[in-house]
Amino acid sequence: MRLFHLEWKKINKRPYLYAIMGMAAFSLFVAMLFMLMPKEEMELSQIDPVWGNITTLVSCVTFAEFAVFGAVLNARTVLEDYIGKQVLLLFSYPIRREELIRTKMAITWGLTAGGALITNLAAMLAAAVVSFIFRPLETGFGVNEALAVLLYSAGMAVMAGNIALISLWFGFWKLSVVTEIVSSLIIIIPLTNMLSASLFSSGLQGYLFLLAAVGVTLAVSAVITMKIIHRVKNMEVK
């Protein structure tokens, strides 16, 4: 816990908190835009005004935002410490390399997933309040809709953290911040399109696809994490 606390204190949290606030504002904007869109425009967009669709739309936006955020966070707070002369100072600490990199990745994963979860829940809660006051949607916000929001928010949050870790491996592979961020975009864009296309079908099929996507990204990120730890453990200082 002491190492976790020390690594947490090293992070300049202000710019990342501002970034989280900005992403939360955008997710909220998307939710309000959907909720308050005139019925005629909604019909032209071919999106049914139901809770399943707004939950999918906002959740996919939040996922994409925080997956990129997590990649940038990993690049600045993890990868940069292992590039150039920084690594000389880092490896001089009386701490096992595996423990240090594991702690760093745990912090960035938690901040990414936690930010995504809170952001998505806040945006959907605001949408529910608007629905309660103005009732712009065809159906009310009940227990089933609340459970769907919780499931989608948790699933997208976990996947955002996982994708950020996966892109970190590409950064370590080339020891390049640019490579990490570009690789995250290459992964996120098609994955977000796949998620939105599958989840808009709603129902059991959408839930199963979400759970499958979470499971696959968890498995891949677990393997990637072990590879990163192994690489850092055997990294030579030049």
- List the domain boundaries for the chain: 2-233
pLDDT digits (tens, 9 = 90+) for 164-218: 999 999 999 988 999 999 999 999 999 998 888 776 655 677 788 889 999 999 9
Cβ atoms of residues 60 and 208 within 8 Å: no
- Specify the DSSP class assigned to residue 69: H
**DSSP three-state, residue 139:** coil
Burial 96-120 (b: 16+ CB within 10 A, else e): ebeebbbbbbebbbebbbebbbebb
Q: Which long-range contacts (CB under 8 A, 24 or more apart) does 130-137 make?
A: 130/32, 130/35, 130/36, 131/35, 134/35, 134/36, 136/35, 136/36, 136/49, 137/35, 137/49, 137/50, 137/51, 137/54
Q: Give the pair of three-digit tokens for residue 139.
A: 């159906």
Residues in the chain: 238
Cβ atoms of residues 47 and 53 within 8 Å: yes
Instruction: Kindly indicate the confidence band of residue 49, based on its pLDDT and cuts at 50, 70 and 90.
Output: low
Question: How many CA atoms, within 13 angstroms, populate the side-chain half-sphere of residue 110?
Answer: 8
pLDDT digits (tens, 9 = 90+) for 128-150: 888 777 766 666 777 888 898 99
**Percent of the chain scored above 70 by pLDDT?**
89
Average pLDDT, rounded, for the chain: 86
Q: Residues 56, 57, 59, 61: what is their CA dihedral angle, to the nearest 10 degrees?
A: 150
- Residue 93, pLDDT above cutoff 90: no
- Contact partners, residue 202, CB within 8 Å, separation at least 6: 50, 52, 53, 56
Could you give the CA distance from residue 147 to residue 142 in angstroms, rounded to a whole number?
Answer: 9
Could you give the CA distance from residue 171 to residue 167 in angstroms, rounded to a whole number?
Answer: 7
User: Which pLDDT value is given to residue 71?
Assistant: 95
Could you give the CA distance from residue 132 to residue 139 in angstroms, rounded to a whole number?
Answer: 10
